[in-house]
Structure 1
Amino acid sequence: MNDRDGWGPPHLSVLWLARDLNDQLSTYGRSSMTAKILDGKWLSKSLRQKLRERAAILLEGGIQPGLAVVLLGDDPASKVYVNNKVRACEECGVKSFRHALPPNTTEKSVLSTIAALNADPEIHGILVQTPLPSHINMRRILESISIDKDVDGFHLYNIGGLVVGNSIFPPCTPYGVQLLLETAGIDVSGKNVVVVGASNIVGKPMALMLLQKEATITICHIKTRDLAQHTILADILIVAAGQPKLIVPQMVKRGVVVIDVGINRMPDGSIVGDVDFDGVRKKASWITPVPGGVGPMTVTMLIENTVHAAERKKL
């Protein structure tokens, strides 16, 4: 099997690890009334240990995986996300290259920076932190990244590859969700999966990835009428709408698996998801917390894709 066949190695090695961790997670999963916790923080720690080992093997051969992060402007949330990614690189033996550009940087200058990174043999992955300033065409920037270095999985080649199951680098958040489900032994085949949110970053690629696993997919979005009539039918509910506590207990059936991708900062400084966690967990069989669920997995899969890119260069 190669890169173009399904997920291809080394992605399959991650899935094998996930299966090995299945029993551990089932035991480790914290119970709250009926729901077990899909603990992304714990799983990320286990996966990062394997990534360190893979990076060490590459280093013995003279290759250190390298990730370049391009940050435009001084958005506080973006700075936090970039810092988290840099720390994850250090933890996994990946060299990070931070390129902080002022908010008034021209699109031409950004494209020039990316062109230089595309040509740099020490760089195996390139990440452009979003959101971008309004004068920058995001699609043009993302498509300027070399396919071989598109570790965010946002290039049209990788997004299109999801349709037929041949993406080299799956988008990080959906990839992390897939691993959480896989590790917990949650089979999506034939299940009713409802995805709330139709973004190009999470909702759409998530639906495509699970469709490849033979799930029955419903995608809901901002214009969906009577959201509850769809969510109540879900065996697996994935919520990425960006609206605090959008999903309440009355909207889900007992035994549902709930994946909350939302990260919302409230006026009091607290972080909550798109799901009413305290209420919904009383009906769910599995649920992700916020924080500590999907978030750590997103960063870990970015590192996985970067190490994978370096391994592909070695071949």
Structure 2
Amino acid sequence: MARILKGAPVAAALTETLTARAAALEARGTVPTLAILRAGERGDDLAYERGAMSRCAKIGVAVKQFLLPADCTRTQLLDAIQQINADPGIHGCLMFRPLPDKQMEEAARGLLSPEKDVDCMTAGALAGVFSGKGTGFPPCTAQACMEILDYYGVDCAGKRAAVVGRSLVIGKPVAMMLLAKNSTVTICHTKTADMPAVCREADILIAAAGRAGVVDAAYTNPEQVVIDVGINVDAQGNLCGDVDFPAVEPHVSAITPVPGGVGAVTTTVLAKHVIEATEKTLV
């Protein structure tokens, strides 16, 4: 029976410390403030937004919404970002992606101030993840994986880690974050030969493929810690991860559930990044 690495205790512990930090900032006359920039009303965006606003309210982070129609123009989008950049009372920005127009999205990412990029949308923030220097913050979901490992006492140093997925949203950033913790990291992808065999060698397995149940028992070993980043919907309409949980759970040392794992921590990490961005402005 694997240890179930639930996200709620991690989020609760973070919330306690972050609430104190937010209160300290407010005592100095500054309320940490997040801008949420959304174009359209996609269901998954709305659900995440509600969760983020609820978590921010608990911690003491204010939220300003910049809501645009799904068919907004390039000018409308960039004007909103200019407002966010120019407002010293806004310390972080979450822009929902993807946008329907990829060129518009690239322009938005290029315009946003890296200092206010709390979810690794800009090239500057990505450079910071890969170099360990610079402004901005890692993606909230990637950071949530690391917060879970830290909370449950998983020492990454000297461990072999496998990351299934190579996106700039999760796969590559979390691989760099594991490397910074002195893990030996392999990034797996659709062209990886005998991926199950590669993953079986890992002490830590991060599943971020974006495909329901792609990781099964053949990928695992009895000492392995599995972090499931995936959020998918199965044929019955239920949320599930990239890991086939019933097949994998009996064969590993520890595993995050879906739902109730990484996703439960992500909005708290978002608030953490806003608070850190605010603190930097007062140094």
TM-score tier, shorter chain, comes to over 0.9
Q: Is the 8 A contact 2:213 2:243 kept in 1?
A: yes
Instruction: Tell me by how many angstroms 1:153 deviates.
Output: 2.2
Q: TM-score, normalised by structure 1?
A: 0.86
How many residue pairs get matched? 282
Q: Is 1:77 aligned to residue 44 of structure 2?
A: yes
Q: Is the 8 A contact 2:164 2:207 kept in 1?
A: yes
Matched position secondary structure for 1:310:
helix
The amino acid of 1:163's aligned partner reads: F
Matched position secondary structure for 2:250:
coil
Instruction: Tell me by how many angstroms 1:64 deviates.
Output: 0.5
Identity %: 39
Q: Is 1:227 aligned to residue 191 of structure 2?
A: no
Match of 2:216 among 248, 256, 268: 248
Q: Which residue of 1 aligns with 2:4?
A: 37
**Structure 2: how far apart are the matches of 1:208 and 1:60?**
36
1:203-222 to 2 correspondence within 5 Å? 203-222=171-190
Q: Is the 8 A contact 2:23 2:60 kept in 1?
A: yes
Deviations 1:10-37 (A, max 9, x none): xxxxxxxxxxxxxxxxxxxxxxx1x111
**Structure 2: how far apart are the matches of 1:68 and 1:312?**
17
Q: Which residue of 1 aligns with 2:231?
A: 263
The amino acid of 1:68's aligned partner reads: A
Runs of at least 4 residues off by over 6 Å: none
Q: Is the 8 A contact 1:82 1:129 kept in 2?
A: no
Unaligned runs of 5+ in 1: 1-32
Match of 2:73 among 102, 106, 110: 106
**Structure 2: how far apart are the matches of 1:111 and 1:200?**
23
Q: TM-score, normalised by structure 2?
A: 0.95
**Structure 1: how far apart are the matches of 2:171 and 2:143?**
12
Q: Is 1:155 aligned to residue 122 of structure 2?
A: yes
Q: Is 1:143 aligned to residue 125 of structure 2?
A: no
Q: Is the 8 A contact 1:55 1:64 kept in 2?
A: yes
**Structure 2: how far apart are the matches of 1:167 and 1:177?**
21
Unaligned runs of 5+ in 2: none
Deviations 1:64-97 (A, max 9, x none): 0100001111211111111111111111111111
Instruction: Tell me by how many angstroms 1:250 deviates.
Output: 2.1
Instruction: Tell me by how many angstroms 1:240 deviates.
Output: 0.6
Provide the aligned C-alpha RMSD in A: 1.4
Matched position secondary structure for 1:282:
helix
- Higher mean C-alpha displacement, 233-242 vs 183-192: 183-192
